[in-house]
Amino acid sequence: MARTPDPLPDQHGRRFVITGANGGLGEEVTRTLAAHGATVIMACRDPQRGQAVADRLTGDISVAALDLADLSAVRRFAQTCGEFDVLINNAGLMNVPFARTVDGFETQFGVNHLGHFALTGLLLDRIRDRIISVSSISHGWTKTLPLDDLRFEKRRYSRHSAYPESKLATLMFGRELQRRLHGSGSSLRSYTVHPGVAPTGLVAKTQTPLDWVSEPFIRLIGQSRTAAAQSILFAATAPDADPDTYWGPTKLFNTRGPLGACPSSALSQDRALWQQLWTASERATGVRFPAAAVMHEN
C-alpha cells in the first residue's frame, strides 16, 4: 500500500554520511537533510566537485574524499569518521564500459556493492541508528548472481548484466544485514530502497549514443529528482519505517508515484544466497563485520 510520507522530522543533532553526494540523488538528499538541520558529510570520489556542490547549498555540510573503487581509500575514509547516525550508501555506476577497480573487480560490482559492503563493515561500530542501501528496479533484470566470477574472468563482459547484478547484491546485502542485526539484538536497522526512475545523470555515462537520448526519455517516463529522493529520505529519517520493507515508488512498474512497499525478484529473496554473497564479499574485501552483525548467521 502506498503511503504519503510524513513531513521530514527536524534533524538537528543528527549526523549523516552520504556516498556519491556530489550530484543526482545524493545532492538532493544532502540539500534536504541540511535544510532540516542535519549535519551532512558528503563522501565523494572527487572532493573538489563535491565542494562545488556544497558551496551552493545551505547548512552544516562538509566534504570528504572517498573512492569506492579503491578498498585502501575506503579504509582511509573510515579511519577519519567519528560517530554518526545514518549511513546512506547511495553512490553508483551504471552501464559503464568494462574496467576494473584498484583491487581488480569489475567496476560496477566493485563500486556499487563491494565498496559499500566494506565501508559499512568498517563503520558499523560508529553508526548510532541505521544504514540505507540504495538498490534499483533493475535488480530484477538478472536471473543469476555469479559469485564465483566477480572479476569477469570466466565470462564475457556485459555492462547490461553487470549493473543489475550489482544492484541485486545491494538489495540482498541490505536485507542480510538487517537479518543479522535483528538476530543479534542490535538496535541498528538496515533499510533497502529504490528511487524509481529519474534524470539523475546516472545513465548518461555509457560512452555510447544512448547517452544522447537517455535523459530526455527518462524525463518523459520518470519523476523528478525531488520525488525520487523520497524513498531514501523516508528510510533515513522516519522513526516508524519498517526495515523489512523494500521502499520505493509504487506506480508505472515502480518507476514513479507515491512511496510504498515494492516487490522484488524471487532471486533477491533467496536467503541462502544472501549468506553466500556475504561470505564472498568478506573474502573479496577482507572486511569482517563487528559481532553485532555476525551472530546468528544460520
pLDDT digits (tens, 9 = 90+) for 225-235: 899 999 999 99
User: Whole domain around residue 135: which residue ranges?
Assistant: 11-293
Q: Give the strand order in the sheet containing 15-19.
A: 2-3, 256-261, 246-251, 189-193, 127-134, 84-89, 15-19, 39-44, 60-65
In a domain, 174, yes or no: yes
Q: What are φ and ψ of residue 50, in 5° steps?
A: -60, -40
In a domain, 64, yes or no: yes
Using alpha carbons, select from 253, 256, 214, 201 the residue that is nearest to residue 231.
256
In a domain, 24, yes or no: yes
Q: Which residue has the cell 536485507?
A: 175
163 is catalytic: yes
In a domain, 197, yes or no: yes
User: Which residue among the candidates 157, 163, 191, 246 is catalytic per the annotation?
Assistant: 163
In a domain, 164, yes or no: yes
pLDDT of residue 296: 45
Gap between the Cα atoms of 61 and 54, Å rounded: 7
pLDDT digits (tens, 9 = 90+) for 142-196: 999 999 998 889 999 988 899 999 999 999 999 999 999 999 999 999 999 999 9
* Residue 31, domain CATH: 3.40.50.720
In a domain, 298, yes or no: no
In a domain, 4, yes or no: no
- Indicate the number of domains in the chain: 1
- For residues 169 and 112, the answer to whether their CB atoms sit within 8 Å is yes
pTM surpassing 0.95? no
Question: What SS3 state is found at 39?
Answer: strand
Query: Exposed/middle/buried for 64, CB within 10 Å: 0-12, 13-18, 19+?
Result: middle
Q: What are φ and ψ of residue 42, in 5° steps?
A: -85, 110
